[in-house]
C-alpha cells in the first residue's frame, strides 16, 4: 500500500511538473472559432508555416470575447495568449488601458502602390496597438420563396411585419439593433450616430424595436439564425454576414441577403502586453496584415478585408473563392453593398454600451 501510494504521488508530481513547465514556443492566437477561425488558419497560419521566408507556427484557440482574460493575464504577468482577435470596442479599451503592445507602424507591409498600411485601411486606425483583420456585418436575410409577390429589399422591410409577415430572429444584445432600428425608421445612414447621441433618438430606436417585439425570436449563437430561417421558424433574421455567406457558398442554401441597412464592425488583431514571444508574434501580425494574405482570407470566407489594396487584389483575380465563385458579390464592404450602411461607431458604444445593454436587457425581459 505504501509503495503504491508513493508511486502514485511521484507520478502525479512528475506529471504536474511536466505539464506546468511546458514552454510556449509557438504563437498562440485567441480567436472566435468556427468557420472564421478556419479561414484564419488557412489564410494566415498555414501560409505562415509554409512560407520558407517566415516559417513560424501559429496555433489558434477559441475564446468568448471580452477583455477579462487578457486583463488578468497581463496584470498577473502570466501571458498565455500572444495575439488576440478583438472587436472594435475592446481594441480601443485594451490599448487605452495598456493591455496591448503598441506596435511600430513602419514594419507593416505597404500596399502595392506604396500606400502605408494605416492609410490603406478603410476606416481610421484607432491606435498603434492594432493590425487589420476584417469587416463583418450584421445584416438581414430570408429564404427564397418565403414571401410571394414583393421581396424584402430594405431594412425597413425587416421591421415591417405587416408587409412581410412572420417571426424575426434577432440577437440578444443591443449592438447594431439600435442603428438598424433608426435606419428602418427613416434616419439616413450618415446621421444615425447624431440621432443616437440624444435620449430622444434612443427612445425612437426602442419604439421601433417595440413594433416587432411580439414577433421576435432571439438568438445568441451565430448558427441559430440560419436554423431559424431554414426551418421556417422565422421568416427573416439578422445574422453575421459570414455565416449567411458560408451557408450560400458551401452548402448552397437558398438564402437571400438584404445588404441595405447592414451595420459593419471592425475586427482587429492585437498583441498582448508583455508577451514573451514578442518577435514571433509581431512577425505573424505583419504576415497576417499584408495585402495578399488579407485578400487570401477571402478565399475561405466572405468577410471583407480591411485593406483597400486587398479588395483590389480580389477584384482583379475573380473568381477568387476556393470553389471558383465570385466572392465580391458576397463581401460586405464593396461600394455596391455600402450604399445604405453604417460602420459601427466604437467610440459611441464605448460611452453608451453599458447603459444601452442594461436598457436592452430590461426590454427583452418585458
Partner 1 sequence: MASNASTVSQPLLTADGTPLKVSLKRSMRRSKLRAIGLVLPPLLFLMLLFIIPIGNLLTRSVDDRLINYQMPLTFSIIEKWDSQTLPDEELFEAVYYDLGTINKFLITNNTGREVNPDDPGWRVIIPKRGPYKEPILKINPLWGEVETWMPLSRIVHNSLEYEGSKKEKRNVEKRAQFDICSYLTPLTNAACSRLFKVLKNWDQQSLPDEKFYKALYKDLSSAHKFLTGKSSTRMNYEKPGWKSLVNKSRRGFNKIKNPPYKEAMIKIEKRWGDVNVWQSLVAMKDPFTSGYYLNAFDRKYDVDSNVIMQPEERQVYVMLWWRTLLLSLIVTIGCLLLAYPTAHLLATLPLKYSNLLMICVLMPFWTSLLVRIVAWMVMLQQEGVINDVLVSGGILSDENRLPMMYNFTGTVIVMIQILLPFMILPIYSVMKGIPPSYMRAAQNLGATPSLAFLKVYMPQTLPGIGAGVILVFIVAIGYYITPELVGGKDGKLIGNMVAYHMQKSLNWGLAAAMGTVLLGAILILYWVYDKIVGIDNMKLA
Partner 2 sequence: MALPIYATPLQRLWHFTYLAICAFVLFFLVMPLIAVIPISFSSSPFLEFTPGMLAFDPEAFSLRWYRILIGDCSDPGITTVCTDRWIIGAQNSLFIGIIATFLATTLGIMASLGLSRPHMPYRKAIMAVMISPLIVPLIITASGVFFFFAKLNLVATYAGLIFAHTVLGLPFVVITVTATLVGFDQNLTRAGASLGGGPLRNFFKIQMPLILPGVISGALFAFITSFDEVVIVLFVGGPEQVTLPRQMWSGIRQEISPTILSAATILVIISILLLTTVELLRRRTERLRGVTPS
Q: Does 24 bind partner 1 (CB under 8 A)?
A: no
Q: How far is the CB of 342 from partner 1 (least distance, A)?
A: 18
**Cα(first)–Cα(last) distance of the chain, in Å?**
62
Find all residues with CB under 8 Å of 81, minimum gap 6, and list them: 28, 29, 30, 61, 63, 69, 70, 73, 272, 275
User: Which of partner 1, partner 2, none sits in contact with 294, Cβ below 5 to 8 A by type?
Assistant: none
What is the distance between the alpha carbons of residues 162 and 164, in angstroms, rounded to a whole number?
A: 6
Minimum separation from the CB atom of position 27 to partner 2 (A): 11
**x-marked contacts with partner 2 along 2-41 as a string, rule CB under 8 A:** x-----x---x--xx--xx-x-----x-x-xxxx-xx--x
For partner 1, the binding residue among 217, 223, 286, 325 (CB under 8 A) is: 217
Q: Are 312 and 46 in contact, with CB atoms under 8 Å apart?
A: no
SS3 112: coil
Minimum CB–partner distance for residue 73 and partner 2 (Å) = 7
Q: 347 by DSSP, 3-state: which?
A: helix
Q: Which residue among 61, 107, 188, 207 contacts partner 2 (CB under 8 A)?
A: 61
Yes or no: say if 143 and 248 are a contact pair by the CB < 8 Å rule: no
Residue 46 in the binding site for partner 1 (CB under 8 A): no
Quote the longest CA-to-CA distance of the chain: 82
C-alpha distances out from residue 301 to 58, 69, 136, 323, 347, Å: 19, 27, 10, 11, 28
Considering the complex, what minimum distance in angstroms separates the CB of residue 180 from partner 2? 23
Residue 336 or 351 having the CB closest to partner 1: 351
Interaction of residue 81 with partner 2, rule CB under 8 A: yes
**Residue 5 binds partner 1, judged by CB under 8 A:** no
- Closest separation between CB of residue 38 and partner 1, Å? 22
- Cell numbers 449563437 correspond to what residue? 221
- Using an 8 Å Cβ cutoff, are 182 and 201 in contact? yes
Site residues (vs partner 2, CB under 8 A): 1-2, 8, 12, 15-16, 19-20, 22, 28, 30, 32-35, 37-38, 41, 59-62, 64, 72-73, 75-78, 80-81, 220-224, 227, 230-231, 246, 250-251
Amino acid at each position: 500500500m505504501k509503495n503504491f501510494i508513493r508511486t502514485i504521488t511521484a507520478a502525479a508530481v512528475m506529471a504536474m511538473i511536466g505539464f506546468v513547465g511546458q514552454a510556449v514556443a509557438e504563437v498562440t492566437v485567441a480567436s472566435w472559432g468556427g468557420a472564421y477561425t478556419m479561414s484564419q488558419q488557412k489564410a494566415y497560419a498555414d501560409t505562415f508555416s509554409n512560407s520558407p521566408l517566415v516559417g513560424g507556427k501559429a496555433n489558434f484557440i477559441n475564446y468568448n470575447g471580452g477583455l477579462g482574460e487578457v486583463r488578468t493575464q497581463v496584470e498577473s504577468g502570466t501571458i498565455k495568449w500572444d495575439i488576440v482577435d478583438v472587436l472594435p470596442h475592446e481594441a480601443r479599451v485594451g490599448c487605452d488601458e495598456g493591455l496591448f503592445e503598441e506596435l511600430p507602424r513602419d514594419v507593416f507591409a505597404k500596399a502595392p502602390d506604396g500606400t502605408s498600411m494605416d492609410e490603406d485601411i478603410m476606416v481610421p486606425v484607432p491606435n498603434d496597438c492594432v493590425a487589420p483583420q476584417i469587416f463583418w456585418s450584421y445584416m438581414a436575410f430570408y429564404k427564397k420563396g418565403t414571401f410571394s409577390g414583393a421581396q424584402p429589399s430594405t431594412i425597413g422591410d425587416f421591421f415591417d411585419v405587416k408587409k412581410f409577415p412572420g417571426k424575426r430572429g434577432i440577437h440578444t444584445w443591443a449592438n447594431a439593433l439600435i442603428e438598424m432600428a433608426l435606419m428602418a425608421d427613416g434616419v439616413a445612414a450618415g446621421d444615425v450616430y447624431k440621432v443616437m447621441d440624444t435620449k430622444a433618438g434612443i427612445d425612437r430606436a426602442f419604439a421601433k424595436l417595440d413594433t416587432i417585439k411580439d414577433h421576435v425570436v432571439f438568438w445568441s449563437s451565430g448558427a441559430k439564425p440560419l436554423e431559424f430561417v431554414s426551418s421556417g421558424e422565422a421568416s427573416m433574421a439578422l445574422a453575421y454576414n459570414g455565416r449567411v455567406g458560408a451557408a450560400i457558398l458551401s452548402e448552397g442554401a437558398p438564402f437571400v441577403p438584404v445588404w441595405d441597412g447592414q451595420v459593419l464592425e471592425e475586427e482587429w488583431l492585437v498583441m498582448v502586453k508583455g508577451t514573451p514571444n514578442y518577435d514571433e508574434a509581431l512577425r505573424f501580425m505583419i504576415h497576417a496584415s499584408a495585402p495578399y494574405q488579407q485578400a487570401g482570407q477571402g478565399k475561405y470566407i466572405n468577410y471583407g478585408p480591411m485593406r483597400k489594396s486587398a479588395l483590389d487584389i480580389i477584384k482583379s483575380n475573380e473568381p477568387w473563392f476556393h470553389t471558383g465563385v465570385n466572392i465580391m458579390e458576397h463581401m460586405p464592404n464593396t461600394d455596391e453593398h455600402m450604399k445604405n450602411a453604417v460602420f459601427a461607431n466604437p467610440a459611441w458604444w464605448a460611452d453608451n454600451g453599458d447603459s444601452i445593454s442594461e436598457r436592452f436587457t430590461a426590454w427583452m425581459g418585458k
